[in-house]
Structure formats: structure tokens, C-alpha cells
């Protein structure tokens, strides 16, 4: 999705990151060569936690399903810029 945003921004003449910051979720193999800032997650660990919750819920354990903070890593690259006063005041580009 984020790579598509980068391509569409280029097509429309929108400069990334000067006019638009883009962050991708997950660390897709094409993200790094494209210079995409992204969030790396561990889907296997997330699946284990979710499966464990489901099994406990099926066993009737009260409170089996709850919020969990999943670890992640922010990989900064070329698609995120510094905000300006327009963002703080709500003015649109």
C-alpha cells in the first residue's frame, strides 16, 4: 500500500517527504530499496499470542482476550520529513 502511495505521489508531482510523509507497515522486501520508512513487526509472534488467546477463550478462561503491546521496530529512511506550522494549525496543503 505505501509503495503505491509513493508511486501515486510521484505521478501527481507531490514531493516525498517535503509535501507528504509516508510510512509502511511491515518490512516488505521492496521497501528498503525504495527508501520507505517502515515499521517492522514479528507476525509469527503475533500469531502465537493470538492463537494462545483463542485457545484460552475456547477453554472458557475469563479474561483470555486482552490487549497486548506487540514489539516493533521503526526503520527510518527517506520518506518521512519534519512537520511544519501548517500541520500544527490544521491548514491544508
Query: Quick one: pLDDT band at residue 86, thresholds 50, 70, 90?
Result: low
* Domain count along the chain: 1
Residue 24 phi, psi dihedral angles, 5° rounding: -100, 155
Residues 14 and 43: their CA atoms lie apart, in Å, by 32
10 and 35 in contact (C-beta within 8 Å)? no
Residue 35 clears pLDDT 90, i.e. is over it: yes
More confident site: 88 or 78? 78
Structural domain of 73: 2-89
Of 54, 53, 52, 28, which is closest to residue 41 (Cα–Cα)?
Answer: 28
Indicate the pLDDT class of residue 90, thresholds 50, 70 and 90. Answer: low
Say how far apart CA 81 and CA 35 lie, in whole Å.
13
Amino acid at each position: 500500500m505505501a509503495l503505491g502511495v509513493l508511486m501515486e505521489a510521484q505521478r501527481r508531482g507531490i514531493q516525498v517527504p517535503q509535501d507528504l510523509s509516508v510510512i509502511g507497515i511491515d518490512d516488505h522486501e521492496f521497501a528498503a530499496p525504495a527508501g520507505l520508512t517502515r515499521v517492522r513487526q514479528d507476525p509469527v509472534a503475533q500469531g502465537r499470542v493470538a492463537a494462545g488467546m483463542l485457545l484460552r477463550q475456547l477453554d472458557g478462561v475469563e479474561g483470555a482476550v486482552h490487549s497486548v503491546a506487540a514489539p516493533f521496530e521503526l526503520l527510518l529512511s527517506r520518506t518521512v520529513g519534519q512537520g511544519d506550522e501548517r500541520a500544527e494549525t490544521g491548514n491544508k496543503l
